Structure 1
Protein backbone atom coordinates (compact mmCIF):
# COMPACT_ATOMS: atom_id res chain seq x y z
CA UNK A 1 0.00 0.00 0.00
CA UNK A 2 0.90 3.68 -0.27
CA UNK A 3 0.99 4.94 3.31
CA UNK A 4 1.65 8.51 4.39
CA UNK A 5 3.16 8.72 7.88
CA UNK A 6 3.70 11.96 9.78
CA UNK A 7 6.39 12.19 12.44
CA UNK A 8 8.75 9.72 10.75
CA UNK A 9 11.79 11.18 12.53
CA UNK A 10 10.04 10.61 15.85
CA UNK A 11 10.22 7.60 18.15
CA UNK A 12 7.10 5.69 17.11
CA UNK A 13 7.05 7.07 13.56
CA UNK A 14 10.56 5.83 12.74
CA UNK A 15 9.93 2.37 14.17
CA UNK A 16 6.62 2.10 12.30
CA UNK A 17 8.16 3.25 9.02
CA UNK A 18 10.86 0.58 9.24
CA UNK A 19 8.22 -2.11 9.72
CA UNK A 20 6.07 -0.84 6.84
CA UNK A 21 9.05 -0.75 4.48
CA UNK A 22 10.04 -4.25 5.58
CA UNK A 23 6.66 -5.57 4.46
CA UNK A 24 7.01 -3.80 1.09
CA UNK A 25 4.70 -0.85 1.61
CA UNK A 26 5.58 2.48 -0.01
CA UNK A 27 5.93 5.23 2.62
CA UNK A 28 5.84 9.01 2.30
CA UNK A 29 7.11 10.60 5.50
CA UNK A 30 6.56 14.11 6.83
CA UNK A 31 8.43 15.60 9.78
CA UNK A 32 9.41 19.15 10.73
CA UNK A 33 12.56 18.10 12.65
CA UNK A 34 11.81 20.62 15.41
CA UNK A 35 14.19 21.12 18.32
CA UNK A 36 11.82 20.21 21.18
CA UNK A 37 14.56 17.66 21.88
CA UNK A 38 17.97 17.00 20.29
CA UNK A 39 17.41 16.93 16.49
CA UNK A 40 20.50 14.73 16.07
CA UNK A 41 18.56 11.79 17.53
CA UNK A 42 15.81 12.41 14.97
CA UNK A 43 18.37 12.49 12.17
CA UNK A 44 19.92 9.23 13.43
CA UNK A 45 16.51 7.52 13.44
CA UNK A 46 15.78 8.78 9.96
CA UNK A 47 19.17 7.61 8.63
CA UNK A 48 18.10 3.99 9.23
CA UNK A 49 15.67 4.10 6.30
CA UNK A 50 15.95 7.46 4.53
CA UNK A 51 17.75 5.90 1.54
CA UNK A 52 15.24 3.07 1.12
CA UNK A 53 13.90 3.11 -2.47
CA UNK A 54 10.30 2.92 -1.24
CA UNK A 55 10.64 5.87 1.13
CA UNK A 56 10.15 9.58 0.36
CA UNK A 57 10.81 12.25 2.97
CA UNK A 58 9.37 15.77 3.24
CA UNK A 59 10.63 18.21 5.82
CA UNK A 60 7.56 20.29 6.55
CA UNK A 61 5.25 21.39 9.34
CA UNK A 62 1.70 20.06 9.49
CA UNK A 63 0.49 23.58 10.24
CA UNK A 64 1.50 24.41 6.64
CA UNK A 65 -1.73 23.48 4.87
CA UNK A 66 -0.25 24.04 1.40
CA UNK A 67 2.65 21.65 2.05
CA UNK A 68 0.35 18.99 3.49
CA UNK A 69 -2.07 19.21 0.58
CA UNK A 70 0.75 19.05 -1.97
CA UNK A 71 2.12 15.93 -0.29
CA UNK A 72 -1.28 14.22 -0.60
CA UNK A 73 -1.69 15.43 -4.17
CA UNK A 74 1.74 14.07 -5.16
CA UNK A 75 1.72 10.77 -3.29
CA UNK A 76 -2.00 9.93 -3.30
CA UNK A 77 -1.83 7.81 -0.13
CA UNK A 78 -4.28 5.00 0.41
CA UNK A 79 -3.91 5.16 4.18
CA UNK A 80 -2.49 7.70 6.63
CA UNK A 81 -0.90 7.43 10.07
CA UNK A 82 -0.65 10.74 11.92
CA UNK A 83 1.99 10.52 14.66
CA UNK A 84 3.42 14.05 14.42
CA UNK A 85 2.46 16.19 17.39
CA UNK A 86 3.86 18.52 19.97
CA UNK A 87 4.48 16.07 22.79
CA UNK A 88 5.04 16.49 26.51
CA UNK A 89 2.71 17.19 29.43
CA UNK A 90 4.89 19.62 31.38
CA UNK A 91 6.03 21.60 28.35
CA UNK A 92 2.38 22.30 27.52
CA UNK A 93 2.16 24.44 30.67
CA UNK A 94 4.99 26.63 29.34
CA UNK A 95 4.18 26.87 25.63
CA UNK A 96 0.53 26.13 24.91
CA UNK A 97 0.69 27.81 21.49
CA UNK A 98 2.96 25.04 20.21
CA UNK A 99 0.19 22.54 20.96
CA UNK A 100 -2.44 24.63 19.23
CA UNK A 101 -0.36 24.86 16.04
CA UNK A 102 0.75 21.24 15.87
CA UNK A 103 -2.02 19.26 17.55
CA UNK A 104 -5.02 21.32 16.48
CA UNK A 105 -4.14 23.27 13.32
CA UNK A 106 -1.85 20.53 12.01
CA UNK A 107 -4.35 17.77 12.70
CA UNK A 108 -7.13 19.71 11.00
CA UNK A 109 -4.93 19.99 7.90
CA UNK A 110 -4.45 16.20 7.92
CA UNK A 111 -8.19 15.63 8.28
CA UNK A 112 -8.92 18.00 5.41
CA UNK A 113 -6.32 16.36 3.17
CA UNK A 114 -7.68 12.89 3.97
CA UNK A 115 -11.19 14.10 3.18
CA UNK A 116 -10.36 15.72 -0.16
CA UNK A 117 -8.01 12.97 -1.34
CA UNK A 118 -10.27 10.06 -0.38
CA UNK A 119 -7.96 8.34 2.11
CA UNK A 120 -9.19 4.84 2.97
CA UNK A 121 -8.27 5.09 6.65
CA UNK A 122 -6.69 7.59 9.04
CA UNK A 123 -4.98 6.21 12.15
CA UNK A 124 -3.82 8.88 14.57
CA UNK A 125 -2.02 9.09 17.89
CA UNK A 126 -4.08 10.02 20.89
CA UNK A 127 -2.78 9.57 24.45
CA UNK A 128 -3.51 7.97 27.80
CA UNK A 129 -3.35 11.56 29.09
CA UNK A 130 -6.96 12.05 27.99
CA UNK A 131 -8.08 10.09 31.07
CA UNK A 132 -6.92 13.06 33.15
CA UNK A 133 -8.47 13.14 36.59
CA UNK A 134 -10.12 9.70 36.22
CA UNK A 135 -9.31 7.28 39.04
CA UNK A 136 -11.15 4.13 37.93
CA UNK A 137 -8.57 1.55 36.84
CA UNK A 138 -7.92 0.14 34.34
CA UNK A 139 -8.75 2.99 31.97
CA UNK A 140 -11.27 1.81 29.37
CA UNK A 141 -12.33 3.44 26.11
CA UNK A 142 -15.97 3.48 27.23
CA UNK A 143 -15.03 5.66 30.24
CA UNK A 144 -15.87 9.38 29.96
CA UNK A 145 -12.79 11.57 29.41
CA UNK A 146 -14.13 15.03 30.15
CA UNK A 147 -11.62 16.19 32.77
CA UNK A 148 -8.14 16.65 31.24
CA UNK A 149 -5.44 17.95 33.58
CA UNK A 150 -2.98 19.28 30.98
CA UNK A 151 -3.18 21.30 27.78
CA UNK A 152 -1.50 18.40 25.98
CA UNK A 153 -4.28 16.05 27.10
CA UNK A 154 -6.96 18.53 26.05
CA UNK A 155 -5.40 18.80 22.59
CA UNK A 156 -5.45 15.00 22.20
CA UNK A 157 -9.08 14.78 23.29
CA UNK A 158 -9.83 17.54 20.78
CA UNK A 159 -8.24 15.36 18.07
CA UNK A 160 -10.67 12.55 18.89
CA UNK A 161 -13.64 14.92 18.67
CA UNK A 162 -12.42 16.39 15.38
CA UNK A 163 -11.86 12.92 13.93
CA UNK A 164 -15.38 11.86 14.86
CA UNK A 165 -16.82 14.89 13.13
CA UNK A 166 -15.02 14.01 9.88
CA UNK A 167 -16.09 10.38 10.18
CA UNK A 168 -19.69 11.47 10.70
CA UNK A 169 -19.89 14.22 8.08
CA UNK A 170 -17.69 12.82 5.33
CA UNK A 171 -17.54 9.06 5.97
CA UNK A 172 -13.77 9.20 6.60
CA UNK A 173 -12.74 6.05 8.53
CA UNK A 174 -10.68 7.20 11.54
CA UNK A 175 -9.07 5.28 14.40
CA UNK A 176 -7.48 6.96 17.42
CA UNK A 177 -4.90 5.09 19.49
CA UNK A 178 -4.37 6.16 23.07
CA UNK A 179 -0.69 5.37 23.66
CA UNK A 180 0.43 4.34 27.15
CA UNK A 181 4.06 5.27 28.09
CA UNK A 182 5.96 3.94 25.09
CA UNK A 183 9.61 3.03 25.74
CA UNK A 184 12.45 1.17 24.06
CA UNK A 185 15.43 1.72 21.73
CA UNK A 186 15.54 5.13 20.01
CA UNK A 187 13.12 6.53 22.59
CA UNK A 188 12.44 10.15 23.39
CA UNK A 189 15.05 11.86 25.61
CA UNK A 190 12.37 13.90 27.39
CA UNK A 191 10.65 10.80 28.76
CA UNK A 192 11.50 9.08 32.02
CA UNK A 193 13.28 5.95 30.64
CA UNK A 194 15.91 8.01 28.81
CA UNK A 195 16.17 10.57 31.62
CA UNK A 196 16.70 7.80 34.16
CA UNK A 197 19.28 6.04 31.97
CA UNK A 198 21.22 9.29 31.53
CA UNK A 199 21.34 10.05 35.23
CA UNK A 200 22.00 6.50 36.42
CA UNK A 201 24.84 6.05 33.94
CA UNK A 202 26.39 9.36 35.07
CA UNK A 203 25.89 8.66 38.78
CA UNK A 204 23.61 11.67 39.17
CA UNK A 205 20.53 11.69 41.44
CA UNK A 206 17.10 11.35 39.82
CA UNK A 207 13.89 13.18 40.66
CA UNK A 208 11.05 10.77 41.46
CA UNK A 209 7.72 12.57 41.59
CA UNK A 210 4.66 11.71 43.66
CA UNK A 211 7.19 10.37 46.20
CA UNK A 212 7.65 7.26 44.07
CA UNK A 213 3.99 6.24 44.20
CA UNK A 214 3.42 6.49 40.45
CA UNK A 215 2.61 3.43 38.37
CA UNK A 216 2.73 3.42 34.58
CA UNK A 217 1.59 1.01 31.89
CA UNK A 218 5.02 0.92 30.20
CA UNK A 219 4.60 -0.44 26.66
CA UNK A 220 7.52 -1.65 24.55
CA UNK A 221 7.94 -0.05 21.14
CA UNK A 222 7.68 -3.31 19.16
CA UNK A 223 4.29 -4.06 20.74
CA UNK A 224 3.08 -0.54 19.93
CA UNK A 225 4.15 -0.82 16.29
CA UNK A 226 2.47 -4.20 15.92
CA UNK A 227 -0.76 -2.71 17.27
CA UNK A 228 -0.58 0.31 14.95
CA UNK A 229 -0.09 -1.90 11.89
CA UNK A 230 -2.92 -4.25 12.87
CA UNK A 231 -5.20 -1.25 13.34
CA UNK A 232 -4.09 0.35 10.07
CA UNK A 233 -4.99 -2.85 8.24
CA UNK A 234 -8.53 -2.84 9.70
CA UNK A 235 -10.26 0.42 8.66
CA UNK A 236 -12.86 1.63 11.13
CA UNK A 237 -16.45 0.62 10.45
CA UNK A 238 -19.72 1.88 11.92
CA UNK A 239 -20.55 0.00 15.12
CA UNK A 240 -23.72 -2.03 14.47
CA UNK A 241 -24.37 -2.20 18.23
CA UNK A 242 -24.05 1.56 18.76
CA UNK A 243 -26.95 2.94 20.79
CA UNK A 244 -27.43 6.71 20.53
CA UNK A 245 -29.47 6.67 23.75
CA UNK A 246 -26.56 5.08 25.63
CA UNK A 247 -23.55 6.21 23.58
CA UNK A 248 -20.20 4.43 23.84
CA UNK A 249 -17.33 6.97 23.65
CA UNK A 250 -15.10 4.41 21.90
CA UNK A 251 -17.30 3.82 18.85
CA UNK A 252 -20.05 5.40 16.76
CA UNK A 253 -22.63 4.85 14.03
CA UNK A 254 -19.97 6.57 11.89
CA UNK A 255 -16.74 4.76 10.79
CA UNK A 256 -14.92 5.81 13.96
CA UNK A 257 -13.00 3.96 16.66
CA UNK A 258 -10.83 4.83 19.64
CA UNK A 259 -8.63 2.21 21.32
CA UNK A 260 -6.20 1.98 24.19
CA UNK A 261 -2.82 0.62 23.14
CA UNK A 262 -0.77 -0.39 26.15
CA UNK A 263 0.77 -3.37 27.89
CA UNK A 264 -2.14 -4.00 30.31
CA UNK A 265 0.50 -4.55 33.01
CA UNK A 266 1.12 -1.42 35.13
CA UNK A 267 4.53 -1.22 36.81
CA UNK A 268 5.49 0.77 39.88
CA UNK A 269 7.89 3.54 38.92
CA UNK A 270 10.35 2.45 41.61
CA UNK A 271 10.36 -1.08 40.14
CA UNK A 272 11.14 0.37 36.71
CA UNK A 273 14.04 2.33 38.19
CA UNK A 274 15.27 -0.82 39.97
CA UNK A 275 15.37 -2.69 36.64
CA UNK A 276 17.25 0.21 35.05
CA UNK A 277 19.81 0.11 37.86
CA UNK A 278 20.26 -3.65 37.50
CA UNK A 279 20.86 -3.45 33.75
CA UNK A 280 23.19 -0.45 34.04
CA UNK A 281 25.05 -2.05 37.00
CA UNK A 282 24.70 1.09 39.09
CA UNK A 283 22.52 2.40 41.88
CA UNK A 284 21.29 5.97 42.07
CA UNK A 285 20.13 8.45 44.68
CA UNK A 286 16.38 9.03 44.40
CA UNK A 287 15.02 12.44 45.31
CA UNK A 288 11.37 11.89 46.25
CA UNK A 289 9.29 14.93 45.29
CA UNK A 290 5.58 15.90 45.16
CA UNK A 291 3.49 15.21 42.08
CA UNK A 292 3.95 17.75 39.28
CA UNK A 293 1.10 19.81 37.77
CA UNK A 294 -0.47 17.95 34.84
CA UNK A 295 0.71 14.51 36.00
CA UNK A 296 -1.59 11.65 36.98
CA UNK A 297 -0.79 9.09 39.71
CA UNK A 298 -1.39 5.90 37.74
CA UNK A 299 -2.09 4.62 34.23
CA UNK A 300 -3.35 1.18 33.24
CA UNK A 301 -4.73 0.33 29.80
CA UNK A 302 -7.73 -1.90 29.31
CA UNK A 303 -6.84 -3.22 25.84
CA UNK A 304 -9.71 -5.70 25.54
CA UNK A 305 -11.33 -3.80 22.65
CA UNK A 306 -8.09 -3.81 20.62
CA UNK A 307 -7.57 -7.52 21.41
CA UNK A 308 -11.10 -8.28 20.24
CA UNK A 309 -11.06 -6.25 17.03
CA UNK A 310 -7.53 -6.72 15.67
CA UNK A 311 -5.95 -9.47 17.77
CA UNK A 312 -3.57 -7.13 19.60
CA UNK A 313 -1.42 -9.07 22.06
CA UNK A 314 1.52 -7.24 23.72
CA UNK A 315 4.20 -9.80 24.49
CA UNK A 316 7.25 -7.94 25.85
CA UNK A 317 7.69 -8.16 29.62
CA UNK A 318 9.03 -5.15 31.48
CA UNK A 319 12.16 -7.14 32.35
CA UNK A 320 12.90 -7.98 28.71
CA UNK A 321 11.96 -4.52 27.48
CA UNK A 322 14.26 -2.70 29.90
CA UNK A 323 17.07 -5.12 29.04
CA UNK A 324 16.72 -4.35 25.32
CA UNK A 325 16.44 -0.61 25.93
CA UNK A 326 19.58 -0.47 28.09
CA UNK A 327 21.50 -2.59 25.57
CA UNK A 328 20.63 -0.08 22.84
CA UNK A 329 21.39 2.86 25.14
CA UNK A 330 24.88 1.54 25.90
CA UNK A 331 25.62 1.00 22.23
CA UNK A 332 24.21 4.36 21.07
CA UNK A 333 26.22 6.29 23.67
CA UNK A 334 29.35 4.18 23.33
CA UNK A 335 29.26 2.90 26.91
CA UNK A 336 31.11 -0.27 27.87
Structure 2
Protein backbone atom coordinates (compact mmCIF):
# COMPACT_ATOMS: atom_id res chain seq x y z
CA UNK A 1 0.00 0.00 0.00
CA UNK A 2 1.51 3.37 -0.98
CA UNK A 3 2.69 5.53 1.91
CA UNK A 4 0.39 8.38 0.82
CA UNK A 5 -2.69 6.16 1.18
CA UNK A 6 -1.48 4.80 4.53
CA UNK A 7 -0.93 8.34 5.76
CA UNK A 8 -4.44 9.43 4.76
CA UNK A 9 -5.99 6.31 6.30
CA UNK A 10 -4.16 7.04 9.54
CA UNK A 11 -5.48 10.61 9.38
CA UNK A 12 -9.07 9.39 9.01
CA UNK A 13 -8.75 6.81 11.79
CA UNK A 14 -7.35 9.34 14.26
CA UNK A 15 -10.07 11.87 13.51
CA UNK A 16 -12.78 9.19 13.66
CA UNK A 17 -11.58 8.50 17.20
CA UNK A 18 -11.65 12.22 18.07
CA UNK A 19 -15.12 12.69 16.60
CA UNK A 20 -16.29 9.57 18.42
CA UNK A 21 -15.10 11.06 21.69
CA UNK A 22 -17.14 14.21 21.01
CA UNK A 23 -20.25 12.26 20.00
CA UNK A 24 -19.92 10.10 23.13
CA UNK A 25 -19.90 13.15 25.38
CA UNK A 26 -22.81 14.70 23.50
CA UNK A 27 -24.90 11.54 23.83
CA UNK A 28 -24.01 11.45 27.51
CA UNK A 29 -25.17 15.07 27.83
CA UNK A 30 -28.48 14.33 26.08
CA UNK A 31 -29.15 11.30 28.28
CA UNK A 32 -28.20 13.11 31.45
CA UNK A 33 -30.59 15.96 30.60
CA UNK A 34 -33.34 13.42 29.92
CA UNK A 35 -32.75 11.62 33.25
CA UNK A 36 -32.85 14.89 35.17
CA UNK A 37 -36.06 16.11 33.51
CA UNK A 38 -37.85 12.77 33.86
CA UNK A 39 -37.16 12.87 37.60
CA UNK A 40 -38.33 16.52 37.74
CA UNK A 41 -41.83 15.95 36.30
CA UNK A 42 -40.55 16.81 32.77
CA UNK A 43 -39.53 20.34 33.80
CA UNK A 44 -36.06 21.77 33.30
CA UNK A 45 -34.20 23.48 36.12
CA UNK A 46 -35.11 26.82 34.46
CA UNK A 47 -38.87 26.59 35.00
CA UNK A 48 -40.80 29.37 36.70
CA UNK A 49 -43.99 28.91 38.75
CA UNK A 50 -46.88 31.38 39.05
CA UNK A 51 -50.08 31.37 41.07
CA UNK A 52 -53.18 33.02 39.69
CA UNK A 53 -55.86 34.96 41.52
CA UNK A 54 -58.40 34.46 38.74
CA UNK A 55 -59.01 32.08 35.86
CA UNK A 56 -56.70 33.94 33.46
CA UNK A 57 -54.31 32.00 31.25
CA UNK A 58 -52.07 33.47 28.53
CA UNK A 59 -53.67 33.06 25.12
CA UNK A 60 -51.29 35.02 22.90
CA UNK A 61 -47.76 34.11 21.91
CA UNK A 62 -45.25 35.59 24.31
CA UNK A 63 -42.15 35.51 22.14
CA UNK A 64 -40.35 33.84 19.26
CA UNK A 65 -38.07 31.72 21.42
CA UNK A 66 -38.77 28.08 22.29
CA UNK A 67 -40.85 27.82 25.45
CA UNK A 68 -43.90 26.03 26.82
CA UNK A 69 -46.59 26.92 29.31
CA UNK A 70 -48.50 24.39 31.41
CA UNK A 71 -51.40 24.80 33.77
CA UNK A 72 -50.80 22.36 36.60
CA UNK A 73 -54.04 21.31 38.24
CA UNK A 74 -52.38 18.88 40.65
CA UNK A 75 -49.35 16.61 40.84
CA UNK A 76 -50.70 14.32 38.13
CA UNK A 77 -52.82 16.35 35.72
CA UNK A 78 -51.68 19.35 33.72
CA UNK A 79 -52.84 21.16 30.60
CA UNK A 80 -50.40 22.15 27.88
CA UNK A 81 -51.41 25.75 27.15
CA UNK A 82 -48.66 26.79 24.75
CA UNK A 83 -45.82 24.89 23.10
CA UNK A 84 -43.83 27.39 21.10
CA UNK A 85 -41.20 25.14 19.59
CA UNK A 86 -40.66 21.44 19.03
CA UNK A 87 -40.76 20.24 22.62
CA UNK A 88 -42.28 16.85 23.30
CA UNK A 89 -41.87 14.42 26.19
CA UNK A 90 -40.05 11.10 25.72
CA UNK A 91 -42.56 8.55 24.47
CA UNK A 92 -42.74 4.82 25.15
CA UNK A 93 -45.39 4.32 22.49
CA UNK A 94 -47.73 6.35 20.31
CA UNK A 95 -47.08 10.01 19.56
CA UNK A 96 -47.34 13.39 21.21
CA UNK A 97 -50.27 15.56 20.23
CA UNK A 98 -49.99 18.87 18.40
CA UNK A 99 -51.00 22.17 19.96
CA UNK A 100 -53.11 22.96 16.88
CA UNK A 101 -55.25 19.83 17.26
CA UNK A 102 -58.89 20.60 18.02
CA UNK A 103 -59.67 17.18 19.46
CA UNK A 104 -59.35 16.59 23.21
CA UNK A 105 -56.17 14.56 23.53
CA UNK A 106 -53.74 13.37 26.17
CA UNK A 107 -50.53 11.48 26.80
CA UNK A 108 -50.14 9.62 30.08
CA UNK A 109 -47.43 7.84 32.04
CA UNK A 110 -47.41 4.07 32.22
CA UNK A 111 -48.69 4.05 35.82
CA UNK A 112 -51.80 5.89 34.62
CA UNK A 113 -52.76 3.15 32.15
CA UNK A 114 -54.88 1.46 34.81
CA UNK A 115 -57.19 4.51 34.88
CA UNK A 116 -57.86 4.51 31.13
CA UNK A 117 -61.10 3.40 29.57
CA UNK A 118 -61.42 1.77 26.16
CA UNK A 119 -64.04 2.56 23.55
CA UNK A 120 -63.94 1.26 19.99
CA UNK A 121 -60.36 0.02 20.51
CA UNK A 122 -59.25 3.49 21.57
CA UNK A 123 -58.09 4.50 25.04
CA UNK A 124 -59.49 7.54 26.83
CA UNK A 125 -58.84 9.32 30.09
CA UNK A 126 -61.78 11.10 31.74
CA UNK A 127 -61.08 14.33 33.58
CA UNK A 128 -63.39 17.13 34.75
CA UNK A 129 -66.27 15.59 32.84
CA UNK A 130 -64.36 15.51 29.53
CA UNK A 131 -63.09 12.54 27.56
CA UNK A 132 -59.51 12.82 26.26
CA UNK A 133 -58.25 10.49 23.56
CA UNK A 134 -54.88 9.05 24.62
CA UNK A 135 -52.41 9.35 21.74
CA UNK A 136 -49.45 7.76 23.51
CA UNK A 137 -47.68 6.64 26.65
CA UNK A 138 -44.94 8.97 27.85
CA UNK A 139 -41.78 8.12 29.77
CA UNK A 140 -39.03 5.54 29.43
CA UNK A 141 -38.67 1.85 30.20
CA UNK A 142 -37.35 2.65 33.67
CA UNK A 143 -39.24 4.13 36.61
CA UNK A 144 -39.53 7.89 37.02
CA UNK A 145 -41.96 10.47 38.41
CA UNK A 146 -43.27 11.06 34.88
CA UNK A 147 -44.97 7.65 35.04
CA UNK A 148 -47.73 9.26 37.10
CA UNK A 149 -48.35 12.24 34.81
CA UNK A 150 -51.15 13.03 32.38
CA UNK A 151 -50.61 15.90 29.94
CA UNK A 152 -53.90 17.11 28.51
CA UNK A 153 -54.74 19.15 25.44
CA UNK A 154 -57.98 21.15 25.34
CA UNK A 155 -58.59 24.06 22.91
CA UNK A 156 -60.60 25.89 25.61
CA UNK A 157 -59.77 24.32 28.97
CA UNK A 158 -61.75 24.99 32.15
CA UNK A 159 -59.09 26.58 34.35
CA UNK A 160 -59.65 26.54 38.12
CA UNK A 161 -58.25 29.39 40.21
CA UNK A 162 -56.25 27.17 42.55
CA UNK A 163 -53.84 25.77 39.96
CA UNK A 164 -50.36 26.86 39.00
CA UNK A 165 -48.98 28.26 35.74
CA UNK A 166 -45.63 26.71 34.82
CA UNK A 167 -43.35 28.45 32.33
CA UNK A 168 -40.45 26.35 31.06
CA UNK A 169 -37.70 26.59 28.46
CA UNK A 170 -34.25 25.20 27.81
CA UNK A 171 -32.95 28.77 28.09
CA UNK A 172 -32.94 30.62 31.40
CA UNK A 173 -32.83 33.94 29.54
CA UNK A 174 -36.04 33.01 27.68
CA UNK A 175 -37.79 32.21 30.97
CA UNK A 176 -36.74 35.57 32.44
CA UNK A 177 -37.88 37.45 29.35
CA UNK A 178 -41.30 35.78 29.19
CA UNK A 179 -41.75 36.13 32.97
CA UNK A 180 -41.57 39.89 32.53
CA UNK A 181 -44.06 39.65 29.66
CA UNK A 182 -46.48 37.64 31.81
CA UNK A 183 -46.30 40.18 34.61
CA UNK A 184 -47.03 42.96 32.13
CA UNK A 185 -50.07 41.12 30.75
CA UNK A 186 -51.56 40.28 34.13
CA UNK A 187 -50.10 41.94 37.25
CA UNK A 188 -52.38 39.81 39.44
CA UNK A 189 -50.30 36.67 38.89
CA UNK A 190 -47.60 36.07 41.45
CA UNK A 191 -44.35 34.24 40.88
CA UNK A 192 -43.40 31.81 43.60
CA UNK A 193 -40.20 29.92 44.21
CA UNK A 194 -39.86 26.84 42.03
CA UNK A 195 -38.72 23.66 43.70
CA UNK A 196 -36.53 21.08 42.00
CA UNK A 197 -37.22 17.38 42.33
CA UNK A 198 -35.33 14.18 41.64
CA UNK A 199 -31.81 14.44 40.29
CA UNK A 200 -31.95 18.22 39.99
CA UNK A 201 -32.29 18.29 43.76
CA UNK A 202 -30.05 15.41 44.83
CA UNK A 203 -27.53 15.17 42.01
CA UNK A 204 -26.51 18.74 41.24
CA UNK A 205 -23.01 18.25 39.81
CA UNK A 206 -23.03 21.14 37.32
CA UNK A 207 -19.56 22.40 38.30
CA UNK A 208 -17.85 19.05 37.69
CA UNK A 209 -19.99 18.47 34.62
CA UNK A 210 -18.85 21.73 32.99
CA UNK A 211 -15.27 21.06 34.07
CA UNK A 212 -15.44 17.68 32.36
CA UNK A 213 -16.64 19.32 29.14
CA UNK A 214 -13.81 21.87 29.23
CA UNK A 215 -11.22 19.15 29.76
CA UNK A 216 -12.69 17.04 26.96
CA UNK A 217 -12.56 19.89 24.43
CA UNK A 218 -9.04 20.85 25.49
CA UNK A 219 -7.97 17.24 25.00
CA UNK A 220 -9.54 17.20 21.55
CA UNK A 221 -7.99 20.52 20.52
CA UNK A 222 -4.50 19.50 21.67
CA UNK A 223 -4.92 16.17 19.87
CA UNK A 224 -5.87 18.00 16.66
CA UNK A 225 -2.85 20.26 17.02
CA UNK A 226 -0.43 17.38 17.66
CA UNK A 227 -1.66 15.10 14.90
CA UNK A 228 -2.00 17.84 12.29
CA UNK A 229 1.58 18.84 13.00
CA UNK A 230 2.69 15.23 12.49
CA UNK A 231 0.61 14.96 9.29
CA UNK A 232 1.98 18.27 8.00
CA UNK A 233 5.55 17.07 8.48
CA UNK A 234 4.70 13.89 6.55
CA UNK A 235 3.35 16.08 3.73
CA UNK A 236 6.59 18.06 3.50
CA UNK A 237 8.08 15.84 0.78
CA UNK A 238 5.13 16.47 -1.54
CA UNK A 239 5.07 20.17 -0.63
CA UNK A 240 8.75 20.56 -1.42
CA UNK A 241 8.45 18.73 -4.74
CA UNK A 242 5.57 20.97 -5.83
CA UNK A 243 7.50 24.02 -4.67
CA UNK A 244 10.57 23.04 -6.74
CA UNK A 245 8.38 22.37 -9.78
CA UNK A 246 7.34 26.00 -9.68
CA UNK A 247 3.78 25.55 -8.43
CA UNK A 248 2.62 28.82 -6.84
CA UNK A 249 2.87 28.82 -3.07
CA UNK A 250 -0.77 29.82 -2.60
CA UNK A 251 -1.94 26.94 -4.78
CA UNK A 252 0.11 24.48 -2.70
CA UNK A 253 -1.30 25.89 0.52
CA UNK A 254 -4.84 25.78 -0.83
CA UNK A 255 -4.40 22.15 -1.90
CA UNK A 256 -3.09 21.20 1.54
CA UNK A 257 -5.96 22.89 3.41
CA UNK A 258 -8.60 21.38 1.08
CA UNK A 259 -7.14 17.89 1.50
CA UNK A 260 -7.11 18.17 5.30
CA UNK A 261 -10.67 19.56 5.31
CA UNK A 262 -12.01 16.74 3.13
CA UNK A 263 -10.37 14.10 5.33
CA UNK A 264 -11.86 15.74 8.44
CA UNK A 265 -15.34 15.85 6.89
CA UNK A 266 -15.02 12.21 5.83
CA UNK A 267 -14.02 11.26 9.39
CA UNK A 268 -16.98 13.22 10.77
CA UNK A 269 -19.48 11.41 8.54
CA UNK A 270 -17.99 8.00 9.32
CA UNK A 271 -18.12 8.60 13.07
CA UNK A 272 -21.64 10.07 12.87
CA UNK A 273 -22.83 7.07 10.85
CA UNK A 274 -21.40 4.60 13.38
CA UNK A 275 -23.09 6.36 16.29
CA UNK A 276 -26.36 6.97 14.50
CA UNK A 277 -26.69 3.27 13.68
CA UNK A 278 -26.76 2.37 17.39
CA UNK A 279 -27.78 5.55 19.18
CA UNK A 280 -29.30 8.39 17.11
CA UNK A 281 -27.41 11.65 17.38
CA UNK A 282 -29.06 14.97 16.44
CA UNK A 283 -27.95 16.20 13.02
CA UNK A 284 -27.05 19.56 14.60
CA UNK A 285 -24.18 17.82 16.41
CA UNK A 286 -22.79 16.63 13.09
CA UNK A 287 -22.69 20.23 11.87
CA UNK A 288 -21.35 21.73 15.10
CA UNK A 289 -18.56 19.15 15.40
CA UNK A 290 -17.56 19.68 11.78
CA UNK A 291 -17.40 23.46 12.28
CA UNK A 292 -15.32 23.18 15.46
CA UNK A 293 -12.87 20.69 13.95
CA UNK A 294 -12.52 22.61 10.69
CA UNK A 295 -11.95 25.91 12.48
CA UNK A 296 -9.33 24.33 14.73
CA UNK A 297 -7.61 22.59 11.80
CA UNK A 298 -7.59 25.75 9.65
CA UNK A 299 -6.01 27.68 12.50
CA UNK A 300 -3.34 25.02 12.98
CA UNK A 301 -2.68 24.76 9.24
CA UNK A 302 -2.34 28.53 8.97
CA UNK A 303 0.33 28.49 11.70
CA UNK A 304 2.16 25.54 10.14
CA UNK A 305 2.08 26.98 6.64
CA UNK A 306 3.22 30.39 7.79
CA UNK A 307 6.20 28.88 9.60
CA UNK A 308 6.84 26.45 6.74
CA UNK A 309 7.04 29.27 4.21
CA UNK A 310 10.22 30.48 5.92
CA UNK A 311 11.82 27.13 5.25
CA UNK A 312 11.08 27.41 1.55
CA UNK A 313 12.48 30.93 1.41
CA UNK A 314 15.68 29.87 3.14
CA UNK A 315 16.29 27.00 0.74
CA UNK A 316 15.59 24.16 3.17
CA UNK A 317 13.29 22.64 0.59
CA UNK A 318 16.25 21.76 -1.59
CA UNK A 319 18.04 20.02 1.23
CA UNK A 320 14.91 18.04 2.13
CA UNK A 321 14.76 16.63 -1.38
CA UNK A 322 18.34 15.56 -1.27
Write 1 or 2 for the structure with the bigger share of helix: 2
TM-score, structure 1 as length reference: 0.21
Q: Which has the higher contact order (CA 8 A, sep 6+)?
A: 2
Higher Rg of the two aligned structures: 2
Give the TM-score of the pair, scaled to structure 2: 0.21
